[in-house]
Amino acid sequence: MYRFVENMIKMYGSGRRHREAETCTPLPVSVDELKSKLRSDFGDSADLTIRELVIDGKKVAVITIDNMTDKQVLAEAVMLPLTGCSCEGSVEELMDRLRQRVFCTPDLVETATFEELEDMIMSGFAVTAVDGSNTAIALGLQGYAARSISEPESDIVQRGSKEGLVESLRVNMTLIRRRLKDPRLRFETLRAGTLSRTGIALCYLSDRVSPDILTRLKKRLSEIPLETVLTAGYLVPFLEEKKDRSLFSGVGISERPDTVCGKLTEGRIAILVDGVPSALIVPYIFAEYFQSLDDYSNRAYFATFTRLLKYCAFFISVMLPGLFVALGTFEPEMFPTLMLNKIAASIASTPLSLTAETILILFIYEIMREAGLRMPRPLGYAVSIVGGLVVGDTAVNAGLIGAPTLMVIAISAISSYVVPDLYAPSAILRMGFTIVGGMTGLWGISAVLCIVLVNLCGKSSFGVPYTAPVSPFSPVMFRDVLVRAGWRVLSRRTENVSDLPGAESEAKNDS
């Protein structure tokens, strides 16, 4: 028992693990020694290819990873020029000739360490090493298969571009650059994961981003102790504020390049992860969950109507089951007479209490949702149809579930999809309010609601208050929160997110 407690303390109380110190090994001068070292590291890996040539008595090796480079470009831009190259001078003269006259690729990088060489070839570069030189030439000839640009599946708009981010980091950078043709748009590349060495690109506008937020973000990314970063969700916990226990996230996510560009103009930073068709956005505030690109494509009055509709739908998805259980259990006289008679008859004809029945239906609904989401698409349709029949008409006719309760859960479930990015916290809060409402009534719901509001008001994202611009209040940015002002108003002076009242440095928290 003591050993178990000691291990748990080490796991959760000892803080972050520090990333192993990266070593820098000089590149071997001999091509044979370089080949031996590569074979030692890669073993008998079948995808490592080394093609050797001899140019005027000097041994040259072209190192690639199979199917990571474009073979046709490799043959035309590297192998063919090398076979026709001649240089009777020194090794340095040969390297200069290769760099200036032989290789005709725009992406040419010179490497001087063995670790950098390995990173290059595993990123799709073709590395050319010459016997006797302590540097190598890496050529960007990436040609691995990638998904074409298509419409995002989870971020659909009626009016606007049908292009979404893809898995290729360079393509995503191009999609953003094409929409923001400004030289102040910056891309900074980093690496995350000691094993995966996943490429990350920070995207921001240099004249609008807060230097303090940018510095803090780079520091947090550099301190990530993960070995592998396979999706953007790996980074989110390390981008949140320390000791943050909120259900809501201060890191946004988007699959649309136009949405990302809109956030960049407000002083935010986008984080692109190689292999992930979405971008993380920091800092992110609560009001942004209720904004969509369609709001700015429609007329202001209709955008305001849909904006208010989203807030109402979120409140219904979270509070409706809990209020229904609380009123039906402790305050039934607050229902209208006809509704009360229906609810009383339903409760009398079912074997479970109102609270247990509501929790059961919520639990079954979540099972159906996960089954329909994870199963293959044809089977997912079948599961949704069968589940709707079983939990719907059949269960009500059998007297296992009351029709009013089923109706309340259905309305709450549909409302939760109006703001899909908030589904996870709304599902947990919905279950929590239902349990509290069934045990303590309206007083318990009021207490939990106050706790949630206090948690929201006390949360921040990179020093920016999470409930801004409502609290603290900002009249300039409030014109795009509950209502959406017209473009004649929005086109006037705007504030960056770092200029909000209450946005202050949190360097002490990150130190």
For the cut 50, the answer to whether the pLDDT of residue 21 exceeds it is no
Residues 309 and 422 both lie in one domain? yes
Residue 333 confidence (pLDDT) = 87
Sign of torsion, CA 279 280 281 287?
A: positive
d(CA 114, CA 49): 17
What lies within 8 Å, CB to CB, of 125 at 6+ separation is 64, 69, 109, 138, 139, 140, 141, 142
Q: Are residues 340 and 422 in the same domain?
A: yes
**Residue 476 included in any domain:** no
DSSP assignment string, 28-70: PSSHHHHHHHHHHHHTT-TTEEEEEEEETTEEEEEEEETTTB-
Whether 193 is covered by a domain: the verdict is yes
Q: pLDDT tens for residues 425-458?
A: 999 999 999 999 999 999 999 999 999 999 999 8
Dump pLDDT digits (tens) for 90-115. 888 888 888 888 887 788 888 889 98
Interval 292-342: pLDDT, tens: 888 888 889 999 999 999 999 999 999 999 999 999 999 888 888 888 888
Q: What is the pLDDT of residue 16?
A: 42
Q: Domain for residue 486, yes or no?
A: no
Quick check: 282 and 217 in contact, CB under 8 A?
A: yes
Tokens linked to 295: 């709001």
What are the tens digits of pLDDT across the range 457-499?
A: 989 888 889 998 888 877 777 888 888 888 888 777 666 776 6
Tokens of 111: 């490497």
Q: In this structure, which amino acid lies at residue 31?
A: V
Give the integer Cα–Cα distance in Å for 239 and 194: 18
Using an 8 Å Cβ cutoff, are 239 and 217 in contact?
A: yes
* Total domains, the chain: 3
Q: 324 and 377: one domain? A: yes
Residue 508 has pLDDT above 50, yes or no: no
Q: What is the pLDDT of residues 45-57, one digit of tens each?
A: 888 989 898 888 8
Peptide bond into 472 cis (omega under 30): yes
**What pLDDT does 156 receive?**
80
Other beta carbons less than 10 A from residue 308's beta carbon: 14
254 and 357 assigned to the same domain: no
Q: What is the pLDDT of residue 241?
A: 83
pLDDT digits (tens, 9 = 90+) for 229-270: 998 989 999 998 887 888 999 999 999 999 999 999 988 999
Identify the band that residue 6 occupies on the pLDDT scale cut at 50, 70 and 90. Answer: low
Residue 54, judged by CB atoms within 10 A of its CB (0-12, 13-18, 19+), counts as exposed
Q: Do 315 and 219 belong together in one domain?
A: no
Residues 262 and 311 in one domain: no
Question: Within this chain, do residues 200 and 59 fall inside the same structural domain, yes or no?
Answer: no
Strand, helix or coil at 272? strand
Q: Cα–Cα distance between 14 and 6 in angstroms, integer?
A: 11
Q: Are residues 363 and 439 in the same domain?
A: yes
Torsion of CA 228, 232, 236, 239, to 10 degrees: 80
Least confident interval from 79-88, 269-278, 388-397: 388-397
pLDDT at residue 359 is higher than 90: yes
Please indicate whether residue 88 or residue 315 has the higher confidence score (pLDDT): 315
Q: Would you state the pLDDT for residue 383? A: 64
Q: Which domain holds residue 60?
A: 31-140
CA–CA dist 310, 325 (Å, integer)? 23
Report yes or no on 99 lying in a domain: yes
Asked whether residue 311 falls in the same domain as residue 441, the answer is yes
User: Are 98 and 85 in contact, with CB atoms under 8 Å apart?
Assistant: yes
Write the DSSP string, 202-221.
Answer: EEEETTTS-HHHHHHHHHHH
Q: Across the chain, what does the average pLDDT equal?
A: 85
Smallest CA-to-CA distance from 436 within 338, 494, 333, 355 is with: 355
